[in-house]
Amino acid sequence: MIRDCLDRFSLNQTGAPVATSRPKVYTSRHSRSEQADDELRNDTNDLRGLGVREQLDVLKKLEQPAPSEREIEARPARDVASSTFARRVIKTVAALLLAIALGWMPVQRLFLVTSAEATVNARVLTLRSPIDGQIVDWRRNSRVGTSLHSGETILRVENPRADRGRLDELRRNQSALEHQRQTSEERLVQLERERAVQLAQFSAFSRFRISHIEARRDEFVADKQAATARLEASNASLQRISTLYNRGIQTQTSYDEIVREQKVASAVLTALERRLQATEIELTAARQGIFVTDGFNDIPRSAQRASELGQLIAEMQATIAEQDRRLASLQSQIQEEADRYGVMSVAVMTSPTDGQIWENLTSPGEDIRRGQDLMRMLDCKATVVTAAVSEANFNKLKIGSKATFRLRGEAEEFSGRVVGLHGLASTPANLAINQSTLAREPYHATIEVPALTTGDSCQVGRTGVVTFDTTVAAQRTP
């Protein structure tokens, strides 16, 4: 019999259909073998919902001696009563669990200040063209959702029709002034060369003139010495003649002639001394660069020409200095105009912060106008959570209140704080998700969650639940 039960149990485990039967109540007397077979079939059908250990216990029970006919008649009635009671208990427990599950969320909202709906949000930055032009250089991977880093080049706009007339005019003036300065430098070199020639000529003239005056002075010195000797001889002759004249030996005529010669010799010596003195003065002046002659000029023509050239050189140097100042001023103006032209002709658009491309409003090669919107991007460094709350919970919140945010479907909670309470007023218009999409509650709060600002990707659009801490200690915490 045990083998027959095992065979039937194996058929049940393999999925073969097994007919179910309700417990029979025997109203007439049957043979013991027929009752045992019916009980065996009922017990075999009950093995399908039992474990291995319970199935072994049932098989052991089947090996026991068969019960009496009265026990067999009373057993089905007891089994029916116990099965009915078990079903009622199971249904009651299931109904209670279902009621608790359905009512737990409303009950939880009565004890905790939570949001009805919360969405990860971020500020939207709009990139606008600063100039008119055409997009000539577009970032290859600029699809929506692409991550951008601060300072990264996105696109480039060029304006070939930008006005550069002022810049060209300044550059022409600069070129003309540079040519004038070059001419002035060449003229200055020529004047300096000519002045050097005149100075060399003046130097030679001075040297030779001084030598000539020195030679004439030496001549006057020699003449003075001869005149002195003649005067001495005349004085000696006059002394002898005077002695003889006083004795009456010499005639008056001879005496007068000797006296005249003595006066002439003295006058000649005096003239030579004066001429020698004039020569010394002329020599001293010549050594100082002043030539005292019979002419009307105190310096030679070469020196005068050298002086004139020196004046021209000074004027030319002043002209070159003025041209240098004008060139410096023009260079500054050209640099400013070049910068202005660069700003008006080329614009390189870079990412102002770390974020993601939210919307592309243009395409490569498109002609755009100044101030036209080119792209919108998410500022991932300014990620916040926009939460919709009921009026009762909204009145419990304050700026700076602590809060925790949990993404839907995840168990991790992120700490944050309330940074904005908008109530029925509109939330900032530069957020990616407008409050009109949060229609479950009319009151809204903005929560700053620092953990959401880390990483390369924004989580804008993900939903979750915000739990607010409205305790007194939390409200006092700055």
Distance CA 32, CA 29 (A): 9
- pLDDT of residue 180 exceeding 90, the answer is yes
Task: Write down the pLDDT at residue 242.
Answer: 83
Q: Are residues 196 and 313 in the same domain?
A: yes
Domain end marker among 319, 343, 376: 319
- pLDDT of residue 82 exceeding 90, the answer is no
Q: Are residues 314 and 358 in the same domain?
A: no
Give me the mean pLDDT over the 277-287 stretch: 85
Give me the mean pLDDT over the 215-222 stretch: 88
Lowest-pLDDT range of 134-143, 197-206, 224-233, 305-314: 134-143
Task: Write down the pLDDT at residue 31.
Answer: 47
- pLDDT of residue 440 exceeding 80, the answer is no
Q: Are residues 134 and 191 in the same domain?
A: no
The top-scoring range by mean pLDDT among 170-184, 210-224, 229-243 is 170-184
Q: Are residues 118 and 174 in the same domain?
A: no
Q: Are residues 189 and 297 in the same domain?
A: yes
Q: Is 341 part of any domain?
A: no
- pLDDT of residue 1 exceeding 60, the answer is no
Q: What is the pLDDT of residues 195-205, one digit of tens each?
A: 999 989 888 88
CATH number at residue 402: 2.40.30.170
The helix (run of H) or strand (run of E) holding residue 438 is none
Q: Is 121 part of any domain?
A: yes
The top-scoring range by mean pLDDT among 77-81, 193-197, 231-235, 441-445 is 193-197
Q: Are residues 102 and 122 in the same domain?
A: no
* SS3 state at 467: strand
Distance CA 65, CA 239 (A): 207
pTM beyond 0.75: the answer is no
Q: Is 42 part of any domain?
A: yes
Domain end marker among 275, 297, 319: 319
Rounded to the nearest integer, the mean pLDDT of the chain is 77
Q: What is the pLDDT of residues 389-429, one digit of tens each?
A: 888 788 888 888 888 898 888 888 888 898 888 776 665 66
Task: With cut-offs at 50, 70 and 90, classify the pLDDT of residue 330.
Answer: very high
Q: Is 338 part of any domain?
A: no
- Of residues 311 and 290, the one with the higher pLDDT is 311
Q: Is 331 part of any domain?
A: no
Q: How many CA atoms lie within 13 A of 422 on its CB side?
A: 20
Q: Are residues 176 and 311 in the same domain?
A: yes
| Beta carbons of 347 and 424 less than 8 angstroms apart | no
Q: Is 334 part of any domain?
A: no
- Of residues 386 and 176, the one with the higher pLDDT is 176
Task: With cut-offs at 50, 70 and 90, classify the pLDDT of residue 358.
Answer: confident
CATH number at residue 237: 1.10.287
Closest C-alpha among 31, 36, 322 to residue 180 = 322
Residue range of the domain that includes 138? 114-152+354-476
Q: Are residues 145 and 13 in the same domain?
A: no
Give me the mean pLDDT over the 159-182 stretch: 92
Q: Is 389 part of any domain?
A: yes
Cα dihedral across residues 417, 420, 426, 428: positive or negative? negative
Distance CA 117, CA 133 (A): 45
Q: Is 335 part of any domain?
A: no
Give me the mean pLDDT over the 180-199 stretch: 93
Give me the mean pLDDT over the 221-236 stretch: 86
Report the domain count for the chain: 3
* Residue 421, phi then psi, degrees to nearest 5: -125, 110
Q: Are residues 315 and 179 in the same domain?
A: yes
Could you count the other beta carbons within 10 Å of the beta carbon of residue 136?
A: 13
Q: Are residues 172 and 282 in the same domain?
A: yes
Residues paired with residue 148 on neighbouring β-strands, in sequence order: 355
Q: Are residues 409 and 292 in the same domain?
A: no
Task: Write down the pLDDT at residue 240.
Answer: 82
- pLDDT of residue 38 exceeding 90, the answer is no
Q: Are residues 377 and 457 in the same domain?
A: yes
